[in-house]
């Protein structure tokens, strides 16, 4: 069981990390906490940190590590986190990981890091091959789940669309960025013996079973 645990999810864009986090949230009844969502919400409010966050964002800068830590600290002291929580998009750097370590100790929790590993080649196919129906939103993939007739939806016959940010060049850039930022974190958590790596190339249900096994 994930009782009292802090679960950090690592996974490249397209690794299915979001889907897995959502399922974990449902299975263990613990919240998934996205620092990006909290910052967006706080920026609109009149909370103590709101002004600072708005100013940072207006200047096009990243919110400082200390503010991020404070945001995570405040959010995870709420009642719904008492049995644990899942962190999404945090920590992103070694400095943040070190700060989170302090919070883990302070809240007397156990940290578990799940790394969904998948080859870039497969991710590229998953992402660049994506097509979605312009009408019913059904998702296809030219490599893994092609529609029966070229560019038309099997369900409703409408045209399929290819999102412009799903092109190989922008995806490769995002993947490079991801590896650059995450490689040190993987090493950091591996050295601390709290990293579990699962094979993200497997179907989503199997990946979820693998993740659940880690918590048994």
Known catalytic residues? 17, 92, 130, 163, 174
Residue 44: φ, ψ to 5°:
-90, -15
Q: How far is the CB of 47 from Zn ion (least distance, A)?
A: 42
Q: How far is the CB of 133 from Zn ion (least distance, A)?
A: 3
Q: Which is nearer to Zn ion, 63 or 153 (CB)?
A: 153
Q: How far is the CB of 146 from Zn ion (least distance, A)?
A: 14
Q: Which is nearer to Zn ion, 160 or 185 (CB)?
A: 160
Q: Are the CB atoms for 120 and 147 separated by under 8 Å?
A: no
Q: How far is the CB of 143 from Zn ion (least distance, A)?
A: 19
The count of other CB atoms within 10 Å of the CB of residue 17 is: 21
Closest residue by Cα to residue 113 from 97, 129, 124, 130: 97
**Measured at the alpha carbon of residue 59, what is the angle toward residues 58 and 60, in degrees to the nearest 5?**
90
Query: Do the strands 160-161 and 130-133 form a parallel or antiparallel pair, or are they unpaired?
Result: antiparallel
Per-residue tokens: 145:
């789940």
**Which residues make up the interface to Zn ion (CB under 5 A)?**
133, 135-136, 138, 153, 155-156, 158
Q: Which is nearer to Zn ion, 21 or 153 (CB)?
A: 153
**Dist CA 199 CA 181 (whole Å):** 20
Give the dihedral sign, CA 138/143/144/146: positive
**Dist CA 198 CA 118 (whole Å):** 9
Q: Which is nearer to Zn ion, 155 or 179 (CB)?
A: 155
């Amino acid at each position: 069981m994930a009782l009292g645990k802090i679960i950090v999810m690592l996974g490249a864009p397209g690794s299915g990390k979001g889907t897995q986090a959502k399922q974990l949230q449902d299975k263990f009844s613990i919240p998934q906490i996205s620092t990006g969502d909290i910052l967006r919400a706080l920026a609109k409010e009149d909370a103590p940190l709101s002004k600072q966050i708005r100013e940072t964002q207006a200047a096009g800068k990243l919110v400082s590590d200390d503010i991020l830590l404070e945001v995570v600290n405040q959010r995870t002291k709420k009642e719904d986190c008492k049995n644990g929580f899942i962190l999404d998009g945090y920590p992103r750097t070694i400095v943040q990981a070190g700060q989170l370590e302090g919070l883990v100790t302070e809240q007397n929790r156990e940290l578990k890091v799940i790394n969904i590993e998948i080859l870039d080649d497969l991710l590229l196919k998953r992402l660049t091959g994506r097509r979605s129906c312009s009408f019913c939103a059904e998702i296809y993939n030219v490599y893994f789940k092609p529609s029966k007739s070229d560019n038309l939806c099997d369900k409703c016959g409408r045209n399929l669309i290819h999102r412009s940010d799903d092109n190989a060049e922008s995806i490769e850039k995002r993947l490079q960025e991801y590896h650059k930022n995450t490689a040190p974190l993987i090493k950091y958590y591996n050295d601390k013996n709290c990293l579990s790596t699962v094979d993200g190339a497997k179907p989503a249900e199997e990946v979820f079973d693998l993740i659940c096994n880690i918590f048994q």
